[in-house]
Amino acid sequence: MTSRTAATALSDRAVPDPALSDQALPGPVVPAADRRAAGFRFASYGRALTGHGLRARLDPARARSVGLATAARDLLADAGPGAVLVGMIPFAPDADPHLYIPDSVEAAPLRAAASSSVSASSTPNPLAGLAGAENPGYRDAVARAVERIGSGDLSKVVLARSLDAVAGRDWDAAAVWERLHRQNPAGHSFMVRLPDGSGTVVGNSPELVAGVRHGRLSSHPLAGSAARQEDPAADRATASTLARSAKDLAEHAFVVDHIRTALEPLCADLDVPAVPDLLPTGQLWHLGTLVRGTLHEGLNCLDAALAVHPTPAICGTPVGAARAAIAELEPEDRGFYGGLVGWMDADGAGEWALLLRSAVLTGPIARLHAGAGIVAGSDPEAEHRETATKFGTMLAGLGITGLDITGTGANA
């Protein structure tokens, strides 16, 4: 990457994709009396979709029989005009998705949706304890993964760990959702109540896996990151270094090549920029490439998302070997972390984001997840520190700030 390209990238302040910024969210619109009671909320590009109640649930057995995208398409067709499919798809391919059609949906400008919710400036929930900030098992897993990479078993694996934030009272998912959006309005803010009533998944993803409007597809993969700095000059220097990092550029190119290979058979045309841009979030700088194309007739945004997912940025490569390593080296099932979250209408339009920068809220316990890409030469201590930095987004969404869990003396 040349100096000119890096300088241009520094000025690209995470503007919304123009192909989706005027996304016509589904109708008919049914005003919601209380958005705080919603089972599903998804905000992006200045618009928010809110779902209430349950009209129909996607049958996991049918999805396994005919394919998830086909089952979703059939469910929408059976549900009638105005139906919208919403929910989450887990990381593990054999795990059941949580996809359903709400009784009613409300599509509104984000300002209106947020103003009827809860003030993000409300008093944060007092923190009673934090478990998992120091995780020797994660360092050990990274070391074992590096050994496997050295033996040629795989080239890269993304290893995640968890962190539990225990509060003095039950977490307010609506308040967390709005706080996350205010932190990063350019991201994809989501809140999904779990089907068994055991909790709520809430987060703000910086990464669009597949968004479709009128057959036009957008995908915005991220790979390669660096921690933001409080000092503006140091922050700009960090971004510039990332834009020229041979290691990060190579990692990013590998992910983009994966997406190109996955999407080319689905598209009549596909535009893949030769160099990435820089995407700033509250805690990190990311390398990102905005991929655009035209889907073949009859395909929908879920077809595209499932073709791409999982990318090497959330799983590793080769995918089969990386999945096996994750299952062995991570002490718990990821659940929906690392999966997909979003919505789709009967015309195949919609958005699916990578489910990360998230937490599962269960009463007073918030379980956060964060991962790092492990390659040859990865340092266990550095990867532990990187995941600590990534926890910072969700911790701030919970109202927990000024807490150093990186071991560097810097706020996470």
Active site (catalytic) residues: 156, 207
**Residue 287 near residue 331, CB atoms below 8 Å:** no
Name the residue type at position 23: Q
Q: How far from chain centre, in Å, is Cα 47?
A: 17
> Residue with structure tokens 């190579």?
250
* Beta pairing class for 216-220 and 350-354: unpaired
The 10 Å Cβ neighbour count of residue 244 is 14
C-alpha Rg value of the chain to the nearest Å: 20
Burial of 341 (0-12, 13-18, 19+ CB in 10 A): buried
The Cα 54–Cα 75 span in angstroms is 13
- Give me the count of residues in the chain: 412
Q: Which amino acid is at 81?
A: P
Q: Where are the alpha helices (DSSP H) in 270-379?
A: 301-308, 319-329
